[in-house]
Amino acid sequence: MKVLITDDEIQIRKGLRLKVEWEKEGFQIVEEASNGQEALDLLKKVEVDVVITDVRMPIMDGIEFVKRVSKEHPNVKVIVLSGYSDFEYVRSTMIEGVIDYLLKPVDPDELVEALKRIRIAAEEEKRKRIESDRMNLLVHNQLEEMREQYLLHLVKEELSELNMAIERLQQLQLEDFANENAQVQFLTVEIRESDCNNPNKLKELWLPFRMMCREIAQGYVGMYSFYDVSYANMIHFIYLVDSNQFIHSSSSLVKDVQRNVKEFMDLETVIGIGKVVTGLPEFKTGYISALLSWSQSQMGSYSQVIDGTVNNEIFEFSAGFEKKLINSIEDANYEAFKSNIYSILGGKNNQSIMSFSFAANRILFLLGSLARKYDIDTIDINKMIWNCQQSIWELNSHSRVMEQLIYLGHSIIEKVYEARCSSNGTAIVENVRRYLEQHYASEISLTTLSEQFHINSTYLSDIFKNYVGQNFSDYLINLRMDNAKSLLKDNQLKIIDVAHLVGFSNSGYFSTVFKKHFGQTPVEFRKSLQLSQ
């Protein structure tokens, strides 16, 4: 720890140097000053941890100096020296930041003990600061994770209620994406290894790559990154498009990603640029178009950029058709499902490879979403999904892709039927619980849940209470409160922000429910956390 000695008598300063084996105690004297003003000037230039100062000095005395240090350099620890006549008065002032008061002439043992107390206090403060920073980072990352997970949800899962999605985007402070006229573009970035000598390099650098992409995205207005476990070694970017700026933004992002990945990780990047799309219902189209661009890359470990915006082909996959597919699966109507697949993927001689790939991917996303919704994404189902994906990318046979999608759909239909017809309804309740854990912040009622899972609301209420042990409303409140408690640890979030993130539009009502639940208001809970740190 670095020490500054302040005393107007040079002999005193020299004496202090000789009284202690400074380096042995973990300290280093870096500067000396003859008065308070000189010492303040030095503190602006030199990094100092500890100041030892006399009380009686010209120009600026020790009392005024210590007050200024406390205000301007709160992390600096101070030891005050004074003569016998001033000692009791100086000690009674109790100036903040002063660790010890020592009587002149200074006893070497007392000075060593004071230094030890400072070192112990500094180490404890450092430990608390590191722990606090770690917790703040974890909690802040939790918000980032929530955003990333929801962006992935919008491009992979069923968009059943547009208003619910808009509300959730607003809660996550992503309200610009909720605008019906918002134009967005997706970029898909894959990292590839040019050095075959280290087969584990991509795995080792995956997390740093993900954090780097998040940091790059934060450097642009209206841009976020997220990842999809279905695609290894990939990060996806989504950003708001300004009609006059989007070409510039995408090229800047491409250059930033390529430069940083190459410089810091020595990896190659393959980047697919998707089409610009408008509004939430088109997010899936934009995401898949970026994946399709990426899928046109060449094999090999060298950097490539494939711009899908140069292809003017329009992809069609209506919300009505998507709903028909969902209904055919949830109603266990295999023939209707098969007929729908043929209607969009078969019998179109003028259909391009790109259009076929887009539609097949949309169907695959939908099937994967339903498998997760009903918790039937088993190893076998995921293997079938992976095989379908590989066939779509390879595009060797349209008929093979359709056969695999139909077979996958048939397997999912059977398992959904089994889950919906379970004798005691436990499978449905578990599906509902998982749905609530993902959407607890949205406006959810038994009616919307019963519609979502095609089940009578009264029956759902009964089996939920029997299985969970509490009614739906209490379970939802508990879920919201537990998440609120976690989010309140992030001091960067205001109380109203936390309220919105867990599904309350009114912070006053949120505080009332929180206090009823935990015996403290959100403000009191946050203060108690700060005191415990």
CATH of domain 426-532: 1.10.10.60
How many angstroms separate the Cα of 130 from the Cα of each of 121, 136, 145, 460?
14, 10, 22, 47
Residue 138 reports pLDDT greater than 60? no
pLDDT digits (tens, 9 = 90+) for 49-85: 999 988 888 888 888 888 898 889 888 888 888 876 6
- Beta-sheet pairing, 28-33 with 2-6: parallel
Residue 292 reports pLDDT greater than 80? yes
Count CA atoms within 13 Å of residue 53 on its CB side: 31
CATH of domain 158-310: 3.30.70.270
Whole-number pLDDT of residue 244: 45
Superfamily of segment(s) 2-127 = Response regulator (3.40.50.2300)
- Summary mean pLDDT of the chain: 85
CB atoms < 10 A from the CB of 506, how many?
11
Q: Residue range 239-262: average pLDDT?
A: 78
Q: Residue range 290-316: average pLDDT?
A: 82
Whole-number pLDDT of residue 367: 93
Residues with Cβ within 8 Å of residue 225, at least 6 apart in sequence: 148, 210, 213, 214, 216, 217, 235, 236, 237, 238
Max CA-CA distance within the chain?
104
pLDDT digits (tens, 9 = 90+) for 120-133: 888 887 777 766 65
Residue (of 381, 374, 479) closest to 428 by Cα position: 374
What is the separation, in whole angstroms, between the first and last Cα of the chain?
Answer: 23
Residue 339 reports pLDDT greater than 80? yes
Whole-number pLDDT of residue 479: 93
Its pTM surpasses 0.85? no
What residue spans of 20-107 are helical by DSSP H?
36-45, 62-72, 84-93
Contact 239, 176 (CB under 8 A): no
pLDDT digits (tens, 9 = 90+) for 399-408: 888 999 999 9
